[in-house]
Amino acid sequence: MVAVLAAFLGLTILWERKVAAEETKPVEVATGIRYEFLARWDIDRLNRILVTEMPGFSGLPVSYSPARNAVRLYRVTYPSVIPERGNRPTVASGLIALPDNAAAALPLVSYQHGTVYGKEDVPSFPEQSHETQAMIAQFAGQGYALIGADYFGLGTSTEPEGYMVKASHQQATVDMLTAGKAVLADLKRRPTGLFLAGWSQGGFVTMAMLERLEATGIPVAAAATASAPVDVFVPLNGYLNFPRKIDAAWVNSLFILSAFAFENYYGVPGLARSVIKDDVYDLAKAAYERTATDLARIPTDLHALIRPDYFDPHFFAASAYGRLVAQTQAYRWVIRTPVRNFYGETDEAITPGLGQLAATYQRAIGNTQVEAVSTGDTTHRGTFARSLPQWKAWFDALAR
């Protein structure tokens, strides 16, 4: 009997090792769409994120819904195209997080991440992304399927970063949605509704994604953002011409990343050099390319970074850079999906006026689908932290 039991246990161990080995192999589910198992996070890990790690990240204690189930994480790679470069083919990456339970049907959240400074600080490398960890714990840990694109140039992508390049953000996220649904089908899961959410840059990307989905007839149950720069010209103009005492030191990166990304994706040689001063150009370029070794050397004083002409609002608006920035908006269409844009009263990057802009515009034309919601005196990260459980409660109510 003991020998039989030992043999049985031995076979069980071998089977578990075989399954574990197979989980590390990429699985192709459609042409170019592949996924690979990354990890299983148990309930204790998820609750530690919510109770300990998120307050450390945001500086704000917030009460979240405790995780009810463990989560399985998968990295996805999928084919896409770059619209600004004549639909040149490319390969992008993203994350799928699924509750480790028996539910076949489950609501689906597409999360769009914020600005990052490391190429792998994105959803498909969840150990390196605090915001992704929070979304995994709060949504996948509560029975939702969660997906998130890394955007072109980030994650495993070999492209230059397409920072705030609208059509490329739309393409990356919509194609990730297609890839995510293919993977869900392969894993015998079925989405019962689609929700969108995003913070900071991801708030802009969420609104841009919603615009594309509505234009192509793909239904969205609801979209929620936090600290969303829905019109990129607004914050950049403000940083240059109406600086606030609370403006973040890191807004310098928004000019650097967008100037180089616009040069690369819109095909405007010399654009970044026309914006950034000669003595810091090489350092700024290294920061964009993720090869800089000391980001602290980049001036936080915009007057030390940006050429003087750009502090003239008329010059900025008429410049090649300014004209591209002015096109980078995601709120001026008739929005049919329920939307809530959360904003902080003391956000160091997004003013309350910008946080309310989409709702103000939509109400000006008589549309009441968009609501602006204050999170009180919250910082940029604090706005995300306080918005997250409110997104969850709203999505829960609609999913039911």
What is the SS3 assignment for 238? helix
Which residues are 91's β-sheet partners?
79
Q: For the chain, how big is the Rg over CA atoms in Å?
A: 22
The mean pLDDT of the chain is 94
pLDDT of residue 19: 42
**What is the spatial distance between Cα 398 and Cα 400, in angstroms, rounded to a whole number?**
5
**What is the spatial distance between Cα 390 and Cα 393, in angstroms, rounded to a whole number?**
5
| 189, pLDDT greater than 80 | yes
Q: Which of 204, 258, 202, 209 is nearest to 231 (CA)?
A: 204
CB-facing half-sphere around the CA of 69: CA atoms within 13 A: 15
pLDDT of residue 194: 98
Contact (CB, 8 A) for 70 and 118:
no
CATH of domain 27-231+331-399: 3.40.50.1820
| 2, pLDDT greater than 70 | no
- The pLDDT confidence band at residue 156, using thresholds 50, 70 and 90, is very high
Q: Which of 195, 211, 228 is nearest to 349 (CA)?
A: 228
pLDDT of residue 23: 64
pLDDT per position as a tens digit, 257-311 = 999 999 999 999 999 999 999 999 999 999 999 998 788 899 999 999 999 999 9
- 25-29, 160-164, 339-343, 345-349, range with the lowest pLDDT: 25-29
* Structure-block tokens of residue 234: 């607004």
Contact (CB, 8 A) for 344 and 355:
yes
Share of the chain above pLDDT 70, in %: 94
Mean pLDDT on 177-193: 97
pLDDT per position as a tens digit, 192-241 = 999 999 999 999 999 999 999 999 999 999 999 999 999 999 999 999 99
Task: Please report which helix (H) or strand (E) contains residue 111, including its range.
Answer: strand 105-112
Mean pLDDT on 101-114: 95
pLDDT per position as a tens digit, 7-63 = 444 443 444 443 444 466 899 998 899 999 999 999 999 999 999 999 999 999 999
pTM (2 d.p.): 0.94
The residue assigned the tokens 């530690």 is 48
CB atoms within 10 A of CB 375: 24
